[in-house]
Amino acid sequence: MAPIRNARVLFNSHPEGYPVPGETTVYDATPTIDVDNVPLNGGFLVKTLVVSVDPYFRGRMRKPDPKSYAAYAAGFALGEPLYGYGIAKVLRSETPDVEVGKYIYGPNIMHQEYTVYPGLGTTLRLIEKHPDLPWTAYVGAAGMPGKTAWFAWQEFSDAKAGQIAFVTTGAGPVGSMVIQLAKAAGMKVIASAGSEEKVQFMKSIGVDVPFNYKTTDTREVLAKEGPIDIFWDNVGGEILDAALEFSAVYGRFILCGSIAGYNQPHVPIKNTPLIAVRSLHLHGILVFRLEHKYDKAFYATIPEKLASGEIKYSEEVVRGLEGVGDLILRVQKGENKAKAVVVVADE
């Protein structure tokens, strides 16, 4: 076979604020690859099917700094393709146990159409799909976002029926999973999102008090509906401060993200003295730290619940790598309507 296109999305510059499509990231359709003859050197060649666009991408776009999230989490390299969670199909292999026709999943699937990997290493894994789920679900509710919610809920929530949970970005893939876990535990759920469409989705998954934080005062809602026993935070800033103000004694705060400060300076938190006054428990969550403990049970439980509709999820699917830059910006601004997924190719 003659060489074919191997398009990719390159990290081009460090953004000062929001990432700019065409400047921060650049779609490059010029490379080619001979899929039949490219040397494998003991590795394997894959065709990328699906890649995920997630809020944490912004941290990996920061300039190198030993104190930054990007330095800790290996920031994107200038001039090189982006990478993240994705699904790819094995086309050729010289790696034992990685057979042609199998599928791989992991956090370093390149944003390019074809890639040769030296081996599975410690981050890639073989994965099988539930027959009633699309591959897109495996970078969302059945993948890292779903795992983040489920792992941390098992580990830190200590949920009790009748208690009150407050979930931010409740229409997103992490927040919506948390909401449904909280409802299954018999809790009253307050949840916020940034559009009326997202509020309607939160209602559809059982939220008792859904609201649009852009048009409704968070403190007024919490003053009326709290105090909060569990706070799941994806936002940080003023909403985190409000949650501290209206927390219950022995409340559990599960801190997953702080997107309010990803593209602009973080808002100082004023209510930290209440952590001691109310004996609050604060838990930060990075999914890989709990994977060894809960991964097997997650895959044995969650895909079936998603396929049956017991747990609901939503996706915003874009086709083609040329849409990655725009989708990254939409996610950072909260303009995406659901879990952001890019379908790179069909099988």
Output the domain CATH number for residue 335.
3.90.180.10
Residue 292 domain-assigned (yes or no): no
Distance in angstroms (rounded) separating the CA atoms of residues 185 and 246: 21
Residue 163 domain-assigned (yes or no): yes
pLDDT at 279 over 90: yes
155-200, pLDDT tens digit by residue? 999 999 999 999 999 999 999 999 999 999 999 999 999 999 999 9
Which of 284, 301, 335 is the last residue in one of the domains?
284
Same domain assignment for residues 129 and 189: no
Closest CA relative to residue 27, chosen from 317, 318, 319, 325: 325
Cα–chain center distance at 172 = 9
Strand spans (E) along the chain: 4-5, 8-11, 25-28, 32-33, 44-52, 83-93, 103-110, 114-117, 125-126, 164-167, 188-193, 209-212, 228-233, 247-255, 281-284, 315-319, 339-343
Beta pairing partners, 166: 190, 231
pLDDT at 266 over 80: no
pLDDT at 68 over 60: no
210-241, pLDDT tens digit by residue? 999 999 999 999 999 999 999 999 888 899 99
Same domain assignment for residues 121 and 39: yes
Predicted pLDDT of residue 314? 94
Distance in angstroms (rounded) separating the CA atoms of residues 88 and 347: 9
Rounded to whole angstroms, what are the CA distances from 295 to 135, 143, 172? 18, 10, 21
Residue 132 domain-assigned (yes or no): yes
Distance in angstroms (rounded) separating the CA atoms of residues 144 and 46: 20
Beta carbons within 10 angstroms of residue 118's beta carbon: 11
Amino acid identity of residue 167, one-letter, is V
Residue showing tokens 């699309």: 134
Closest CA relative to residue 306, chosen from 130, 107, 50: 130
Predicted pLDDT of residue 109? 97
Same domain assignment for residues 131 and 250: no
Residue 298 domain-assigned (yes or no): no
Closest CA relative to residue 331, chosen from 14, 21, 5: 21
Residue 205 domain-assigned (yes or no): yes
- Domain with 254, as residue range(s), is 144-284
Among 50-64, 80-94, 185-199, the range scoring the smallest mean pLDDT is 50-64
Same domain assignment for residues 335 and 258: no
The residue length of the chain stands at 347
Mean pLDDT score across all residues of the chain: 94
Q: Under DSSP, is residue 179 helix (H, G, I), strand (E, B) or coil?
A: helix
Residue 195 domain-assigned (yes or no): yes
The total number of structural domains in the chain stands at 2
Residue 295 domain-assigned (yes or no): no
Predicted pLDDT of residue 71? 44
pLDDT band at residue 262 using 50, 70 and 90 as cut-offs: confident
Q: Which residues contact 190 (CB under 8 A, 6 or more apart)?
A: 164, 165, 166, 167, 207, 208, 209, 210, 211, 221, 222, 225, 226, 228
Same domain assignment for residues 108 and 154: no
Q: Exposure of 215 by Cβ count < 10 A (0-12 exposed, 13-18 middle, 19+ buried)?
A: exposed
Cα–chain center distance at 275 = 27
Q: Under DSSP, is residue 343 helix (H, G, I), strand (E, B) or coil?
A: strand
Distance in angstroms (rounded) separating the CA atoms of residues 27 and 31: 11
Same domain assignment for residues 269 and 336: no
| Phi, psi (rounded to 5 degrees) for 221 | -65, -45
Beta carbons within 10 angstroms of residue 282's beta carbon: 15
Same domain assignment for residues 274 and 148: yes
Same domain assignment for residues 277 and 198: yes
**Higher pLDDT residue, 43 or 334?**
43
Predicted pLDDT of residue 67? 61
User: Tell me, what DSSP letter sits at residue 112?
Assistant: B
Q: Which pTM value belongs to this model? A: 0.91
Residue 37 domain-assigned (yes or no): yes
Same domain assignment for residues 53 and 170: no
Predicted pLDDT of residue 69? 53
pLDDT at 319 over 60: yes
Amino acid identity of residue 200, one-letter, is Q
69-83, pLDDT tens digit by residue? 544 567 899 999 999
